[in-house]
Amino acid sequence: MAWDAIRGDLTINEISTKYGIHAAQINRWKQEALSSIKCSFTHKVQKMDIGDQKLIDDLYRQIGQLTCENEFLKKKSLGIRPQRDAL
């Protein structure tokens, strides 16, 4: 019934007559359904934000690790070049 009211194919009075339920009750159920739908999407967005933040933190950690490794290897390669030239 709430779904019929949300879709809008029938008026509230037509739905009331079809199901034998007072129009005020149908309006109340419609509002509750719309509110629940909105909350479920908001909750999913909040979950994604938490998941996204964890992913961002992991990626920053990996960037930091790779930067350190890159700097270390650059310094090591500078020390190796003079030895190659001496051979």
Every domain of the chain and the residues it spans: 2-86
Which tens digits make up the pLDDT trace of 1-57?
A: 566 777 778 888 887 888 888 888 888 888 888 888 777 766 666 666 777 888 888
Output 61 or 23, whichever has higher pLDDT.
61
**Contact present, 3 and 37 (Cβ < 8 Å):** no
Take residue 82 and report the two structure tokens written for it. Answer: 């003079």
Alpha helices in the chain (DSSP H): 2-7, 12-19, 23-86
